Amino acid sequence: MTWTIIVLAVLVVVLWGFWVSWRASRLDRMHNRVEAARTALDLALVRRWSAAGDLASSGQLDPATSMLLADAVLRARQADPAERDLAESDLTRALRATLGDPDFRAELAAGDPSDPDGPEDSAELLTAVERAAQQVSIARMFYNDLAGRTLDARRRPLARVLHLSGRARQPEFFDMDDALVDGEG
Amino acid sequence: MRIGIACPYSWDVPGGVQQHIRDLAETLIELGHEVSVIAPADDDRPLPAYVVPAGRAMPVPYNGSVARLAFGPLSANRVRRWLKDGAFDVLHVHEPAVPSLSLLACWVASGPIVATVHTAMRKSRWLLASQPVLRSALEKIDGRIAVSEAARTTFVQQLGGDAVLIPNGLATRRYRHAEPLDGWPGTGGAIGFLGRMDETRKGLPVLLQAFELLAPGRPGLRLLIGGNGDAEEHRDTLPAELRDRAVFLGEVSEEDKIRLLHSVDVFCSPNTGGESFGIVTAEAMAAGVAIVASDIPAFRDVLRDGQAGELFAAGDPAALASAAARLLDDPARCAELSAAALDAVAAYDWGIVARDVVSVYETVVLGRTPVGITE
């Protein structure tokens, strides 16, 4: 009788151990995925700086717009981590101000047929900015989704009591205005 | 001369650059020039006849805050049309390194261009100016004006080429007439002060101590004090029975500032130092109020060594009290000083400053074709 109880108890402990280690490794995997998603988001933001910077220095914009855009890119690149979201949102607003006029956007998209050998094709520049902005939007959505799920998992009682997340950094949501067209998103 | 002036900031928003352009344009018109100003402004707002609206300014993040600027293809088209219709002899842009109408005007215009820089700019701003598009726009500037030494230094260091220093003018006319504040100056005598109370170099404590010396013999004498600061703290330095006779207005609007100058018999500038020009004293001179001022070099200079205002030893309340008493007791002397002050301050008037600006115009248009549009 006593033996049966002992065997059962050992079995429970072993099973519980397996379960805890499974939860811990899942949490670890989630943290890794969050890190990867964050890297992807950072990369998307860098691509957007570069596309916006190319547009600013292309000579396709008037100098005032070009300067506003270059200023926003510079600020986003130099922002401290704590103010990154604000600086990136400002870059979005500067892009919106640059491309806000539908006629002008259409003119850029049409390229410059009179100068086919121009140093840079305005349509390509526009596409690069639009694609980079879209990637930022998608990468941010994926990252925030994973960050949210990881935060939920960290908040479970078991994870909290046993400190399953170890020294993994708590992910933070990245909130910013990333809609290139007013009213979108 | 036909002069086109480009203003980068919204005409409807109060600001130093807009005020400068307004004063300059109106003075140039008085001097017989034809002036047109292009500025961001709503089309449906009432504007002075010389202002051409370039459409509403858009709020955009710039330089760490949200600025209202005009840029983009629509604004560029408006500027182009304005230049074409205006057929100016000279184009005068203000703050060309701000991404707005002035920069657009430099970009689309050909011909003689004068630029005025108002604010000293940080290095990063000028690094952006190394972009080819901006550089080619800014390189078209023929005549450079800076309104202060600091602005001139940045201009020279960052963009190359020297700038003429022409400070802001004083629109003396605006100060000449105003309604006194209700109940002022009264019959017992009134002394006025303007300036930040917490800055001891503005000298309010000296005036308060002098008031303590004067008040017992003059039961109707009052003080009228305008400017930022802790009024309670200063009021409490006075003996209890005098506290009601010192009126603190706190921060005053531009209009109330002028009314204050017309509400007192004597205006006091008790500064103990640190002034390079003393704009407030010059404004009081333009209002025609009798002035008693400390004998620091800036005031000695603007008040013509005491001919246009009573001077006293800086920081000495007894000297201030006796100088103020002399004026309060002698209306004829006050009238004499007032006339001399009006005469002296005329040298700082926009009329004179605008003539200096015109000399710059005349220099850059020599042998040049009028302003046109680059194709």
Nearest CA to CA, how far is A28 from chain B (Å)? 39
| Contacts with B211 (C-beta within 8 Å, 6 or more apart), sequence order | B191, B221, B223, B238, B242, B246, B321
Residue of chain B nearest A60, judged by CA positions: B133
Residues 43-62 of B with CB under 8 A from A: 58, 60-62
Closest Cα to residue B303, out of B327, B286, B328, B324? B286
| DSSP-derived secondary structure for B43-111 | TTS---TTEEE-BPPEEEEETTEEEEE--HHHHHHHHHHHHHHH--SEEEEESTTSTTHHHHHHHHEES
Judge whether B300 and B314 are in contact, CB under 8 Å. Answer: no
Distance from C-alpha of B234 to C-alpha of B81, rounded to nearest angstrom? 57
The whole-angstrom distance between B261's CA and the closest CA on chain A is 42
Contact B104 A93 (CB under 8 A): no
C-alpha span between B248 and B235 (Å, rounded): 8
Q: How far apart are the first and last CA of chain B?
A: 25
The Cα A146–Cα A41 span in angstroms is 12
What confidence tens digit (pLDDT) does each residue in A128-177 have?
A: 999 999 999 999 999 999 999 999 988 888 888 888 877 878 899 999 99
Each of the 375 residues of chain B gets a pLDDT tens digit; together they read 999 999 999 888 877 788 889 999 999 999 999 999 999 988 777 899 999 999 888 888 887 778 888 888 889 999 999 999 999 999 999 988 888 999 999 999 999 999 998 876 665 555 555 567 777 788 888 999 988 777 788 777 766 678 888 888 888 888 888 888 888 887 888 899 988 887 778 888 899 889 888 888 888 888 899 888 888 888 888 888 888 888 888 888 888 889 988 989 999 988 887 665 677 888 889 998 999 999 888 788 888 888 888 899 988 999 989 888 888 888 888 888 889 988 888 888 888 889 999 999 999 998 888 898 886
- Note the ipTM here: 0.74
B77 touches A at CB < 8 Å: no
Mode of pairing for the β-strands spanning B65-69 and B58-62? antiparallel
Is the predicted pLDDT of residue A115 greater than 60, yes or no?
Answer: no
